[in-house]
Amino acid sequence: MNADALRRLLTEQPFEPVDVILSSGHVFHIKHPENVIVMKNTLVVTEPENDIVQWTSLIHIVAVRRQHAVKSRRRHPVQPGGAAMRRLPTLPAFPDFV
């Protein structure tokens, strides 16, 4: 993700918290846009409650997702045999080879 796209995401109104996922697997949880600085090639994220400052190169960002999307998936898990499972087509049986 480039700096301009990340800035646009962080300035949307109303702001929605996002998770920034890095190539290392580490996740930055951004709860407020004031806690982030997007520079030309670097992202700086602060956690004021813990007095932590972290930074990474923008090339290490592999995904950005809205936190509400993750929470909504957790509230409605697919149950085995549920409607989503019934919509899947059945596969034909393999022929018997002699």
Going by their DSSP bridges, the two strands 36-38 and 27-30 should be labelled as unpaired
CB 64 within 8 A of CB 20: yes
How does pLDDT run across 36-89, given as a tens digit for each residue?
999 999 999 998 888 999 999 999 999 999 887 554 444 445 455 544 444 555
CATH value at residue 27:
2.30.30.100
Least confident of 29-33, 76-80, 92-96: 76-80
Whose CA is closest to 41, among 6, 10, 2, 11? 2
Query: Can you give the pLDDT at residue 96?
Result: 56
**Overall number of domains in the chain:** 1
> In which domain, by residue range, is 22 found?
3-73
Q: What's the pLDDT at 68?
A: 74
- Give domain status of residue 60, yes or no: yes
pTM above 0.75, yes or no: no
pLDDT value for 62? 94
* 96 in a structural domain: no
